[in-house]
Structure 1
Amino acid sequence: MDVNALDAVDVHVHVEQDGHGCTSLDQELLDASAKYFHPDQDRTPTVETIAEHYRARRTAAVVFTVEAPAGTGHPPLSSEEIADRAAEHPDVLIPFGSVDPHGGKAAVARARRLVTEHGVRGFKFHPSMQEFEPNDVRFYPLYEAIAELGVPALFHTGQTGIGAGLPGGRGIKLRYSNPMYLDDVAADFPTLTVVLAHPSVPWQDEAISIATHKANVYIDLSGWSPKYFPPQLVRAANTMLRRKVLFGSDFPVITPDRWRADFDTLEIKDEVRPLILKDNAVRMLGLGASA
């Protein structure tokens, strides 16, 4: 990947459909998500569609699915397939894997294979969908393996649009996505890079504190239009966290065009903008020096 040819790196992009027409969520959850986000393009893009979309914008995309059969009962998409198909577009796509933490030793072994055999560059977790408390020591062997592999772990934090508006939120519990669980993980695994995905409402101050305190913790800004960012997050991004925050859209529910248009109106210092849009992600992902 020629990072100098890129204008930005989007660290939060969902693959919602595989090459066989299978989707990452069942229809009820897809419909509820669409009602919550009001996406302005196809809700279930394939790897190839994503590559075309981002190549046209001179932007790299970290792509992944969420494997949560224990939490949702829905068959997951294959991280192996996503990684192998992303490898056909190395100029713009950076594959992350997903494993169900409840898989125990099998999940640990699969995480290793995803990196060593399929070129995965990190892992995505969604504690609310996967129904787990991230600081439960039962999952520590998985973090230990990811740390040894030298790749980051990106965790959903805060509110989720998945299940939003449905009775009981379809059983999805928000408390699993409290970022304070990840303070334990970051402390116990200091060589593991942890990314707190999204403005972590209603725990935004907690996320800022963790990212300020722990050198190995970043925050991605996906899932929200920048015009709705909590003011304390904007202040932190402009100052003490200027090298710890990352551009993420949450595509396809929010497009990079929509996110960047709203980001252009945000009161971010001129010298901080390129850090957020590209340079911080290049460093975090180990992509090499950018111009």
Structure 2
Amino acid sequence: MYKNLETLEWNLNNKVEFINIISHELRTPLNIILGAQKLLTLNINEEGNKLENKINFIKYLASIQSNSYRLQRIINNFIDITDFELGMSKLNLSNDDIVKVVKNIVKHASFVANRKGINILLATNVKQKIMAFDKEKIERIILNLLSNAIKFSENNKEIDIILLDKKEKIQLLVIDQGIGIPRDKLSNLFDSFVQVDKSLTRNHEGSGTGLSVVKSFVKLHNGSVSVKSKENAGTSFMIELPSNIVPGSRASYLSDEDINIIQKIQIEFSDICEISYEYNN
């Protein structure tokens, strides 16, 4: 009985902490959006250098857009976690080329990583792998892992993405050279209401929901996710997914969907940096 009470108290404490974190994460971008809106209003009412005003407009609009995406990310993650725990999550499976999806993500995510002097390197043992997966969810999985890798890596480091065809399954590894995760935090890393390190996360921003979403989406695919990490030596996430084919579903051989993937990167990377309009156009 005492053990059950301790477990219940632990869960309640973590949920309270989670609500506090979410409240902070929602309040911060809202304050930035409101501040940018006020500055825009002041610039509209002021006379003076039109070029300077235009530059300010672009800067404030970029801030509004980036923080709106940040809010969207928090809300998306919260809804996805809740849906999964309630058994309401569904997969939209189709037979597609997982290699092309990963390559497309790496191509566009490199734009953000390069701003920190970080190189994303992709290695694969197969040119094409047609298998059944939910493209939207797989993109979210990879972007969440890449976002963390970039966020917790110092400048001028590398991130390795390794995609391996193991015949009946595929392995996807995301390996960074970042600050690492304390050993005693690894067991709870994917829990819905737990953060690895409150001071660490506060320094880098983030609600701590991304890895829980990753675990949920991987489980929906009947896959597994694991992590190895050492403090000050980097972290390695490995995802394994069954490489099944959906009967009656034709392989679509995905075309490049640059506009869609750019917007997804803007959402998932919104707590890393603002992504300029030049990248959006």
Q: One fold, TM greater than 0.5?
A: no
Provide TM-score, normalisation by structure 1.
0.25
Asked which structure has the greater CA Rg, the reply is 2
The structure that is strand-richer by fraction is: 2
Provide TM-score, normalisation by structure 2.
0.26
The structure that is helix-richer by fraction is: 2
